[in-house]
Amino acid sequence: MRGRDVPRPLTIEPPLPRVYQQGEQIRFGLSLIGRAQDLFPYLARAVQRMGEIGIGRGRGRFRLEMIAEHNPLLDARRDLMHANLVQKPTLQITPPRIAESAADGRADRITLEFISPLRLVKDSKLVGEGQLTAQVFVQRLLERCQTLASYYAEGEDTPTQEEWRVAALGLQAQGAALRVGYDDTAWEDYWSGSRCKAHATPIGGLLGTVRWEGDVTALRPWLLWGQSLHVGKDAVKGNGWYRVKA
């Protein structure tokens, strides 16, 4: 893997950026991808250890009180932590569940709400306000799906490079045919501090809602996958998290 930008097999659904006072609850989400699901018990223990060590400025400590799983396709929730016992998740996002959810959506439009900053790159430049198109979004989403599947997919029937290439060309063409029906996305600046690097790194991006109109039948399943996989740069820090609204 040396020399390659291999994505981590997890994404973070971050809490709102604010100062939390003593006694307040902080909630965040984690999505484990493919074979990484087997590491869930270790992740739970790691979060407990984080609370003991402390995080953020002043090394604020916390106690892990609750773990629950949530499936955005089913809008279903299940508690996983009872006393000191952590159960195995059962509400995984799977191809059959994606197909079922996609079949319930509209064929002529799709609306995305960006919950955390979206940082997409086109022609070596960040995509800014008024520049977000379905074509570039789909292109970056497919690149991420392909890379994650190559390293972490379960099973042996993963698509070949040629199959990915053919699928990408067709889906990008469909993305290019979509028109923007509504776009209220705006750029917001955020920074990620690092004690190791001794400086802050920009992680800001587009936030808000966009609606693309046209034939979205083939694109909808991929956009549903992206809800959990995230899209764009700094996904492991929580960026590129969105929800399919309609």
- pTM of the entire structure? 0.90
pLDDT band of residue 4 (cuts 50, 70, 90) is: low
pLDDT band of residue 126 (cuts 50, 70, 90) is: very high
Task: Give Cα separations from 62 to 17, 21, 24, 27, 48 (angstroms).
Answer: 17, 11, 10, 11, 8
What class does CATH assign to 95-244? Answer: alpha beta
- One-letter amino acid at 242 equals Y
Structure confidence by residue, pLDDT tens digits, 17-73: 778 888 889 899 999 999 899 899 899 999 999 999 988 778 889 999 999 999 999
What H or E segment, with its residue span, contains residue 166? helix 161-177
pLDDT value of residue 155 = 73
Structure confidence by residue, pLDDT tens digits, 172-197: 999 999 999 999 999 999 888 666 66
Whether 7 has a pLDDT exceeding 90, the answer reads no
Beta-strand ranges (E) seen in 48-190 are 68-71, 76-79, 81-82, 85-86, 109-118, 121-122, 125-126, 179-183, 186-188
Which residues in the chain are classed under CATH 3.30.70.1900? 95-244
Average pLDDT, the chain: 90
Both structure tokens of 59 = 């090394």
pLDDT value of residue 153 = 84
Whether 1 has a pLDDT exceeding 80, the answer reads no
The total of other beta-carbon atoms located within 10 Å of residue 99's CB is 12
- DSSP letter, residue 105: S
Task: Give Cα separations from 99 to 75, 95, 107 (angstroms).
Answer: 15, 6, 13
What average pLDDT does range 154-163 have in this prediction? 82
pLDDT value of residue 233 = 92
pLDDT band of residue 106 (cuts 50, 70, 90) is: very high
pLDDT band of residue 6 (cuts 50, 70, 90) is: confident
* Least confident piece of the model among 56-60, 78-82, 207-211: 56-60
What is the phi-psi region of residue 73: left when phi exceeds 0, alpha when psi lies from -120 to 50, beta otherwise? alpha
Bridge partners (DSSP) listed for residue 192: 201
